[in-house]
A and B are shown apart, each in its own frame.
Chain A
Amino acid sequence: MGFKKLFNSKKILSLLAVFMLLGTSLLFAQDTESAGAAASPAADAVKDNGLATAGYYILLFLIVCFIIGIFGKILRVFDLTQQIQGKQPINWDNVMGVMCLVFLVAGAYGAYWEFTVQGRMILPDAASEHGVKWDEMFWTTTVLTMIVFVVTQILLFTFLFRYRYNKNRRGHFLPHNNTIEKVWTIAPAIVLTILVIFGFFTWQQITDNVDAKGQPASINVDITGHQFAWELRYPGKDARLGATNYKLVSGSNKLGINFKDKYSYDDLQADTMYLPVRKSVRLNIHAQDVIHSVYIPHFRVQLNAVPGLPTFFKFKPTITTAEMRIKLDKPTFEYEILCNKICGGAHYNMKKIVRVVTEAEYQAWLAQQKPYLTDAIKKDLKFAAEKQEVQSKRLALNN
């Protein structure tokens, strides 16, 4: 028995004593320090680096270890006296079997608690058209997997209790049973086939990039990620976004908009992403430096922003911000875009607010936005004055 030697070992006991002494002296040191703190709080602030607190916790830990050790020793002594008296020693197989059952019950309650309490803290129903399909898919999968989860865990832990060791019994020699093995190969295969087909069609519908017939063409919005912010670009009256080229990026032209392209003249910049409700939106996603990811959880929208690989995501918001505030009873609620691909030190703080509004509000807001083509840029590029060829050269040299 390992414990026996441990407790007999003078070395370890004396080591423990030294630790205890060290801990107490640290605690005393803390006391004297705090006593002195009244006199010179500034000096104390410099001195207290939390070492005393850490010492306290280490001491606490050692005490716990000591108690566990003593408890183990007592158990051992109890066990031995039982044996001396000719009684049965502690049957650890029974103890563990019962523990498994206790864990099953406690775990079941814990899981139930999690589902009811934290299950309520998850995202509300989707606020976009395809999000509804996502939710259906999600709940179908959840129900199917939870059934399997509950059944298998119950079987696992009840088997452990039911078939715990008994020296008078032998295990049931059952090397295989082809029928039952076939059943439980085919059954999950069927369930998974259903999920695959369901998932495949949901995925196809979500990633379908064609505007449906009879629907208004989608609004194009450009979103560009860079460390650590999102830039937005809305098309102006021509409803088209102008071309961009990363080589044109400069202090004044942060998106590298090609102002030779006439569609770019009226492109608008915006601080908040306003979207009209129940209008299809095509989010064109770009990145300038590293990979970012546009993630709007409430819309079930996510796609990476990859430098050199423009991507897009089409969706249709169905609930306005105002409606959502009432629905959730949170007057300050906002839809948010998060960055969901590690992109550097301030990755955790790369957000953009999305506001879903009515069509009228959207148009009113759009009218107030300023174009990217500011007077300064015009002047910079000598846009009006110079000829196009010269311009292109200058742009090239501008790198």
Chain B
Amino acid sequence: MSTLAVHDHGVAHHEDDHGHHKATFLNTYVFSMDHKMIAKQFLITGMAMAFIAMILSVLFRIQLAYPDRAFPLMETLLGRFAPGGRLDSNFYLALVTIHGTIMVFFVLTAGLSGTFANLLIPLQLGVRDMASPFMNMLSYWFFFIASVIMLSSFFIQKGPASGGWTIYPPLSALPKAMPGSGMGMTLWLISMTLFIASQLMAGINYVSTILNMRTKGMDLWKMPLSVWALFLTAVLGVLSFPVLVAGVVLLIFDRSFGTSFYLSEIVLNSSQVQPFEGGSPILFQHLFWFLGHPEVYIVIMPAMGISSEVMSVNSRKPIFGYHAMVYSLIGITVLSFIVWGHHMFVTGMNPFLGGVFMITTLIIAVPSAVKTFNWLATLWRGNIRFTSAMLFAIGMVSFFISGGLTGIFLGNAALDINLHDTYFVVAHFHLVMGSAAIFGMLAGVYHWFPKMFGRMMNERLGYLHFWLTFIGAYLVFFPMHFMGLDGVPRRYYAFTEFESMKQWLSVNTFITWAAIMSAVAQLAFLFNFVHSIFWGKKATQNPWESNTLEWTTPVEHLHGNWPGEIPTVYRWPYDYSKPGAEHDFIPQTTPLSETMSSNLPHDFEDNPIGLEEHTKWASTQKSNEEVK
């Protein structure tokens, strides 16, 4: 009944709005509290950050491809960071660090969850807005400020943080250890603290909205998988991000207030003995990875949810094993808290602990495998419509398989000895959480673009974008596995100093050109995106013939989402191609009583009265046929 009460309140509030508020530019586009506008703000900021991080990656790829060549243009653009047209080695590390930080946190956490949780949770659950629209707005603006601070570190004397996105102390704690550990690191820490605050506000909002404000009939087992994924992601974030704050705050203390939580027995420049005693750099790694590992699931789970939804709609088939999909998401969520140690097998952590983390890590592969098989089964005997969104969802599955399998190597403590921190790791996570998550995000953008902007994106350009990016990503990351197996470490400024690595120089050039190709392909997307916002074909109300609630809202946005009463939900969201049904999709708002011919006993699992009615109806049908 509580759902009903909230729902009524929503209506009342909505009517008030028209009476009192005047829509100005400022409260519509800037400080908007409407979840749809906030979703768009997250998306566009996330995309801007993604393009910046992509440009950074192209810069350091150029350095790797041509370690001996000077590019005068680079000096023109980067000034002191590229003296004589060659990247400074410290700046190279800064590029790697900021690329990683932006991609993991600003694009794939805020850009992905922020966009789709804000857009889909209210629309797919039949809610007028988030539980706390104000907190939602605050969440975006904290994120925005965090982004600005992160980027501002490029404009300070010594450059941005450069200790890797994992910012392990003591490197990050000692300003003398490298230029980036000075002011740049301070800005990184401030930015991340704000970012985490943003994520917590957002996460609490998502969880409370999902648990309290669903429309009538929308019980948990009728929620689309996208919402399930976003829900579990939010839970994961709310539980793990605070631990990173703890880690970051202690690091701030070590850097600025003379404590030694992470510092012990340090001598700088081979002779300057530092006063720190009793701390442990490993402590930071525990705190960091306690967030860091759930973080990779925070990144991938929304992509999984979006892909499940998109694949079901475009295969015109219910997602195979809906319950198994949800349980495997729950399994991943729970297990992701007890696997962080697999990032630390070779830190000198007790080998017994390593053994334990290996077991938990390989267990988490089981739910991941179940999800993959279920996706394949969803495609099997489907009627597959190749929309751009569908292609990206498929790309996500392909990347998830390719990258996930190498996780079985890295999760094995013994194998990790020789693979840790090599290019094998780079290839692994760029496929499984980088490419897969970004493909999930792009699938979401193509799929829900009509909902966000009321217009369609160009499908042909979408195809071009997909194939160039898909092939490009494989060309970039597949060879890296072999570099890793040859023992080539990551985060190396140049491969020229070691005789054994020189054989990979030509491969590096190839990878760089593949990366540039993929980067250029993103311009097709950018053009398509911007062009379609203004001049795209006008969208119809339900362009993909989908079952979920968001397509019952009018194309023109209005605050409160539905003009009249919020629709009631009667069925699960995956009744596609149901035998006996008139169309190959039955929206969630269609009562079972209107679809007698297609109902199955399975539809009445928790509904004995309904089942009785159904059997009665079925037997009359049968007898009628016999009479005929």
Asked if A291 and B351 make an inter-chain contact with CB atoms under 8 angstroms apart, the answer reads no
Tell me whether B294 is interfacial, beta carbon within 8 Å. Answer: no
Asked if A226 and B273 make an inter-chain contact with CB atoms under 8 angstroms apart, the answer reads no
Q: Give which listed residue, A1, A181, A199, contacts B537 with CB less than 8 A.
A: A1
Cα A172 to Cα B269 in complex, Å, equals 69
Cα A249 to Cα B602 in complex, Å, equals 75
Tell me whether A219 is interfacial, beta carbon within 8 Å. Answer: no
Tell me whether A103 is interfacial, beta carbon within 8 Å. Answer: yes
Q: Give which listed residue, B266, B319, B397, B577, contacts A308 with CB less than 8 A.
A: B266
Tell me whether B545 is interfacial, beta carbon within 8 Å. Answer: no
Asked if B417 and A176 make an inter-chain contact with CB atoms under 8 angstroms apart, the answer reads no
Contact with A along B447-482 (1 / 0, CB 8 A): 000000000001111011001001100100011001
Tell me whether A261 is interfacial, beta carbon within 8 Å. Answer: no
19 A-B residue pairs with CB within 8 Å: A50-B74, A51-B76, A61-B520, A93-B386, A96-B386, A145-B406, A160-B384, A160-B394, A163-B379, A172-B380, A203-B412, A206-B414, A293-B346, A300-B417, A302-B417, A304-B346, A306-B348, A311-B348, A336-B499
Tell me whether B402 is interfacial, beta carbon within 8 Å. Answer: yes
A9 to chain B, nearest CB (A): 9
Q: Tell whether A185 pairs with B318 under 8 Å between CB atoms, given A152-B376, A174-B377.
A: no
Q: B347 to chain A: which residues have CB within 8 Å?
A: 304, 306
Tell me whether A220 is interfacial, beta carbon within 8 Å. Answer: no
A69-118 residues with Cβ-Cβ distance < 8 A to B are 72, 75, 92-93, 96-97, 99-100, 103, 107, 110-111, 114, 118
Please name the residue on chain A nearest to B93 by beta carbon. Answer: A342
Additional 4 contacts, C-beta under 8 A, given A249-B273, A348-B492, A348-B494: A6-B531, A163-B384, A285-B348, A347-B93
A136 to chain B, nearest CB (A): 10
Tell me whether A121 is interfacial, beta carbon within 8 Å. Answer: yes
Q: Give which listed residue, B76, B348, B381, contacts A171 with CB less than 8 A.
A: B381
Enumerate the 3 nearest inter-chain pairs by beta-carbon distance, A residue then B residue, closest first.
A297-B487, A308-B264, A50-B73
Asked if A307 and B264 make an inter-chain contact with CB atoms under 8 angstroms apart, the answer reads yes
Cα A1 to Cα B528 in complex, Å, equals 11
Cα A342 to Cα B535 in complex, Å, equals 48
Please name the residue on chain B nearest to A131 by beta carbon. Answer: B418
B387-405 residues with Cβ-Cβ distance < 8 A to A are 391, 394, 397-398, 401-402, 405
Q: Tell whether A289 pairs with B174 under 8 Å between CB atoms, given A249-B267, A249-B270.
A: yes
B221 to chain A, nearest CB (A): 12
Q: A227 to chain B: which residues have CB within 8 Å?
A: 177, 269
Cα A251 to Cα B273 in complex, Å, equals 11
Cα A399 to Cα B174 in complex, Å, equals 19
Q: A49 to chain B: which residues have CB within 8 Å?
A: 72-73, 75-76
Contact with B along A120-164 (1 / 0, CB 8 A): 011100000000011001100110110011001101110110011
Tell me whether B44 is interfacial, beta carbon within 8 Å. Answer: no
Q: B611 to chain A: which residues have CB within 8 Å?
A: none
Please name the residue on chain A nearest to B418 by beta carbon. Answer: A300
Tell me whether A215 is interfacial, beta carbon within 8 Å. Answer: no
Asked if B73 and A175 make an inter-chain contact with CB atoms under 8 angstroms apart, the answer reads no
Asked if B279 and A291 make an inter-chain contact with CB atoms under 8 angstroms apart, the answer reads no
Most chain B CB atoms below 10 A, which of A196, A204, A311: A196
Q: Give which listed residue, A155, A185, A297, contacts B376 with CB less than 8 A.
A: A155
Contact with B along A239-254 (1 / 0, CB 8 A): 0000000110111001
Tell me whether A341 is interfacial, beta carbon within 8 Å. Answer: yes
Stretch at the interface among B12-20, B226-234, B362-370: B362-370
Tell me whether A345 is interfacial, beta carbon within 8 Å. Answer: yes
Asked if B170 and A341 make an inter-chain contact with CB atoms under 8 angstroms apart, the answer reads no
Asked if B351 and A204 make an inter-chain contact with CB atoms under 8 angstroms apart, the answer reads yes
Asked if A308 and B280 make an inter-chain contact with CB atoms under 8 angstroms apart, the answer reads yes
Contact with B along A180-194 (1 / 0, CB 8 A): 110011001100100
Cα A111 to Cα B523 in complex, Å, equals 28
Tell me whether B104 is interfacial, beta carbon within 8 Å. Answer: no
Q: A249 to chain B: which residues have CB within 8 Å?
A: 267, 270-271, 273
Cα A139 to Cα B385 in complex, Å, equals 39
Q: Tell whether A50 pairs with B163 under 8 Å between CB atoms, given A93-B384, A149-B405.
A: no
**How many B residues face the partner with a CB closer than 8 A?**
134
Q: A332 to chain B: which residues have CB within 8 Å?
A: 499
Tell me whether A119 is interfacial, beta carbon within 8 Å. Answer: yes
Most chain A CB atoms below 10 A, which of B322, B386, B420: B386
Asked if A345 and B414 make an inter-chain contact with CB atoms under 8 angstroms apart, the answer reads no
Asked if A340 and B489 make an inter-chain contact with CB atoms under 8 angstroms apart, the answer reads yes
Contact with A along B292-321 (1 / 0, CB 8 A): 000000000000000000000001111111
Cα A1 to Cα B458 in complex, Å, equals 8
Tell me whether B551 is interfacial, beta carbon within 8 Å. Answer: no
Q: A202 to chain B: which residues have CB within 8 Å?
A: 414
Please name the residue on chain A nearest to B574 by beta carbon. Answer: A175
Q: B324 to chain A: which residues have CB within 8 Å?
A: 176, 181, 185
B473 to chain A, nearest CB (A): 12
Asked if A290 and B482 make an inter-chain contact with CB atoms under 8 angstroms apart, the answer reads no
Q: B579 to chain A: which residues have CB within 8 Å?
A: 170, 173
Asked if A290 and B177 make an inter-chain contact with CB atoms under 8 angstroms apart, the answer reads yes
Q: A122 to chain B: which residues have CB within 8 Å?
A: 482, 485-486
Most chain A CB atoms below 10 A, which of B379, B384, B414: B414
Asked if A97 and B386 make an inter-chain contact with CB atoms under 8 angstroms apart, the answer reads yes
Cα A203 to Cα B282 in complex, Å, equals 20
Tell me whether B622 is interfacial, beta carbon within 8 Å. Answer: no
Q: Give which listed residue, A184, A297, A341, contacts B369 with CB less than 8 A.
A: A184
Q: A285 to chain B: which residues have CB within 8 Å?
A: 348
Tell me whether B409 is interfacial, beta carbon within 8 Å. Answer: yes
Q: Tell whether A123 pairs with B474 under 8 Å between CB atoms, given A93-B385, A290-B170.
A: no
Q: B415 to chain A: which residues have CB within 8 Å?
A: 134, 137-138, 141, 199
Q: B268 to chain A: which residues have CB within 8 Å?
A: 289
Asked if A173 and B578 make an inter-chain contact with CB atoms under 8 angstroms apart, the answer reads yes
A190-240 residues with Cβ-Cβ distance < 8 A to B are 192, 195-196, 199-200, 202-204, 206-207, 226-227
Please name the residue on chain B nearest to A172 by beta carbon. Answer: B381
Asked if A156 and B358 make an inter-chain contact with CB atoms under 8 angstroms apart, the answer reads no
A237-275 residues with Cβ-Cβ distance < 8 A to B are 246-247, 249-251, 254, 256
Asked if A103 and B379 make an inter-chain contact with CB atoms under 8 angstroms apart, the answer reads no
Asked if A295 and B489 make an inter-chain contact with CB atoms under 8 angstroms apart, the answer reads yes
Asked if A164 and B386 make an inter-chain contact with CB atoms under 8 angstroms apart, the answer reads yes
B411 to chain A, nearest CB (A): 9
Asked if B421 and A341 make an inter-chain contact with CB atoms under 8 angstroms apart, the answer reads yes
Asked if B413 and A293 make an inter-chain contact with CB atoms under 8 angstroms apart, the answer reads no
Tell me whether A54 is interfacial, beta carbon within 8 Å. Answer: yes
Q: A27 to chain B: which residues have CB within 8 Å?
A: none
Please name the residue on chain A nearest to B484 by beta carbon. Answer: A122
Asked if A169 and B383 make an inter-chain contact with CB atoms under 8 angstroms apart, the answer reads yes
B206 to chain A, nearest CB (A): 27
Please name the residue on chain A nearest to B464 by beta carbon. Answer: A68
Asked if A184 and B370 make an inter-chain contact with CB atoms under 8 angstroms apart, the answer reads yes
Cα A204 to Cα B414 in complex, Å, equals 8
Asked if A399 and B170 make an inter-chain contact with CB atoms under 8 angstroms apart, the answer reads no
Cα A37 to Cα B178 in complex, Å, equals 41
Please name the residue on chain B nearest to A288 by beta carbon. Answer: B267
Q: Tell whether A345 pairs with B418 under 8 Å between CB atoms, given A175-B322, A200-B355.
A: no
Please name the residue on chain A nearest to B367 by beta carbon. Answer: A185
Q: Give which listed residue, A114, A153, A174, A289, contacts B381 with CB less than 8 A.
A: A174
Asked if B164 and A196 make an inter-chain contact with CB atoms under 8 angstroms apart, the answer reads no
A52 to chain B, nearest CB (A): 9
Tell me whether B168 is interfacial, beta carbon within 8 Å. Answer: yes
Tell me whether B281 is interfacial, beta carbon within 8 Å. Answer: yes
Tell me whether B493 is interfacial, beta carbon within 8 Å. Answer: yes
Asked if B420 and A340 make an inter-chain contact with CB atoms under 8 angstroms apart, the answer reads yes
Cα A254 to Cα B409 in complex, Å, equals 39
Cα A68 to Cα B479 in complex, Å, equals 29
Cα A290 to Cα B347 in complex, Å, equals 13
Asked if B321 and A176 make an inter-chain contact with CB atoms under 8 angstroms apart, the answer reads yes
